[in-house]
């Protein structure tokens, strides 16, 4: 004769009354939680940078709303990458866009443009950081601490075929006295 290791417990067998009691308890908790709400938060904000009110914030310019100064002939200009941030310290974000012609073959060179909002709130191009004539392909783009950072591929001379860029460079642009000034960030490298 075998004895069970654990005796059968009466409360482990469910009956309809158990389900009714459970449903009643859950309904009571839900009803009570809808009546008892916490008071509004009254904690003071910690000292730090002053935040703008939500309605005063301005959206970064959208590259889709801009006609770029890029001659693409019968194909369209295509935005490959974009990054936004306040570049000139006025509290309003600018957008940096990597754009090239949507060519059916090959890798067309990129241009890098800075967009801002004009007086009528429409986005417009205000600076060209890399021109398509430079034959660059941007592989990375970011806006950090008011600076534009880019990594791009290029060519050491005009004799290098377009298929095979042989130089990788990093560049940094920062707004200074009314213009974007280019520098090479620490740790820049070549291929």
Q: In whole angstroms, what is the distance from residue 79 CA to residue 64 CA?
A: 8
In the chain, what are the domain boundaries?
A: 57-183
Mean pLDDT to the nearest integer, 55-67: 83
Tens of pLDDT along 105-156? 878 999 999 999 987 888 999 999 999 999 999 999 999 999 999 999 999 9
Mean pLDDT of the chain: 79
Residue 66, classed as helix, strand or coil, is coil
* Banded pLDDT at 44 (limits 50, 70, 90): very low
* pLDDT at residue 184 in the model: 81
Mean pLDDT to the nearest integer, 46-72: 73
* pLDDT at residue 35 in the model: 54
Kindly give the pairing relationship between strand 111-117 and strand 94-101: antiparallel
Contact (CB, 8 A) for 96 and 114: yes
* Banded pLDDT at 25 (limits 50, 70, 90): low
């Amino acid at each position: 004769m075998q004895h069970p290791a654990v005796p059968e417990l009466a409360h482990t067998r469910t009956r309809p009354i158990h389900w009714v009691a459970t449903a009643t308890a859950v309904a009571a908790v839900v009803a009570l939680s809808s009546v008892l709400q916490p008071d509004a938060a009254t904690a003071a904000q910690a000292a730090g940078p002053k935040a703008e009110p939500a309605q005063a914030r301005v959206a970064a310019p959208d590259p889709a709303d801009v006609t770029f100064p890029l001659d693409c002939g019968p194909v369209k200009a295509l935005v490959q990458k974009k990054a936004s941030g306040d570049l000139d310290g006025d509290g309003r974000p600018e957008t940096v866009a990597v754009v090239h012609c949507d060519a059916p073959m090959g890798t067309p060179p990129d241009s890098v443009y800075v967009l801002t909002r004009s007086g009528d709130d429409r986005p417009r191009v205000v600076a060209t950081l890399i021109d398509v004539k430079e034959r660059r392909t941007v592989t990375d783009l970011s806006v950090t601490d008011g600076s534009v950072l880019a990594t791009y591929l290029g060519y050491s001379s005009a004799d290098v075929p377009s298929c095979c860029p042989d130089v990788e460079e990093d560049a940094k642009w920062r707004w200074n006295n009314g213009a974007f000034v280019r520098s090479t960030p620490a740790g820049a490298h070549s291929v």
